[in-house]
């Protein structure tokens, strides 16, 4: 039996942070193979959108529907800071049924860091480690929050390549970033386009 085709869709979504309405009337639908780039200034609501799409928070209005498992790359890595990187990743790899964890780490050029405790890794290295975790999850839907921040040029190219491969294989990727990504056919929107007008906010 074939698994149903993955999709991610948001209908008339509105989210608040504290008392402030960040965006409203945001609808999107991503089908298999689609990549979408969300741009916006700091604090415009990119992370809030991602967490709402992930189902971690309840949106103020509207709804999110999704088919297929979901992998999230956020500002938090989910890796135990006291453990060596290989062991911290091994926990998630074991949950996600990754057979060849060494190959997974090699794809993100992490082999040399295997024995280094996670808390000693730099921002960029931690980001790469979190990407390895996302990759190991083998989920059709990727939500990546600022995947490029803290990465050097070579690693930024690597992220673009991972997203290209993922989407070419029928995966869905939604990427929130203020930096450009090199992914052909990627759609893009600015979250500010959905910000409420001032008059609306008063009401």
Binding region for other proteins (CB under 8 A): 51, 54-58, 69-72, 74-82, 91-92, 94-96, 133, 137
User: Nearer to other proteins by C-beta: 130 or 167?
Assistant: 130
- Report, in Å, the least distance between residue 17 CB and other proteins: 9
Q: DSSP for the chain?
A: -PPPPPEEEEEEEEEEETTEEEEEEEEEEEETT-EEEEE--TTSSHHHHHHHHTTSS--SEEEEEEES-EEEE-SS----TTSBHHHHHHHHHHHHT-S-HHHHHHHTT-GGGTTSBGGGS-HHHHHHHHHHHHHHHT-SEEEEESTTTT--HHHHHHHHHHHHHHHHTT-EEEEE-SS----TT-EEEEGGGGSPPHHHHH-
Minimum distance, C-beta of residue 133 to other proteins, in the bound complex (Å): 8
Nearer to other proteins, 68 or 189 (CB): 68
CB of 93 vs other proteins, minimal distance in Å: 10
- Specify the residue, 75 or 200, whose C-beta has the smaller distance to other proteins: 75
CB of 74 to other proteins, least distance (A): 6
* Nearest residue (CB) to other proteins, 20 versus 180: 20
Q: CB of 87: closest distance to other proteins in angstroms?
A: 9
Nearer to other proteins, 95 or 112 (CB): 95
């Amino acid at each position: 039996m074939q698994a149903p085709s993955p999709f991610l869709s948001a209908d008339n979504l509105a989210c608040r942070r504290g008392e402030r309405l960040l965006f409203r009337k945001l609808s999107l639908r991503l089908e298999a193979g689609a990549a979408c780039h969300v741009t916006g200034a700091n604090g415009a609501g990119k992370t809030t959108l991602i967490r709402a799409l992930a189902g971690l928070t309840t949106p103020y209005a509207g709804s999110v529907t999704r088919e297929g498992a979901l992998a999230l790359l956020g500002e938090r890595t989910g890796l135990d800071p006291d453990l060596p990187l290989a062991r911290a990743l091994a926990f998630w790899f074991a949950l996600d049924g990754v057979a060849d964890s060494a190959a997974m780490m090699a794809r993100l050029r992490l082999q040399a860091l295997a024995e280094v405790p996670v808390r000693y890794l730099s921002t960029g290295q931690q980001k790469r480690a979190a990407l390895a975790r996302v990759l190991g999850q083998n989920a059709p839907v990727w939500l990546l929050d600022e995947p490029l921040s803290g990465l050097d040029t070579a690693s930024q190219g690597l992220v673009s390549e991972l997203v290209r491969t993922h989407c070419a294989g029928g995966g869905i990727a939604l990427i929130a970033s203020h930096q450009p990504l090199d992914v052909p056919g990627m759609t893009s929107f600015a979250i500010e386009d959905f910000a409420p007008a001032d008059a609306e906010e008063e009401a």
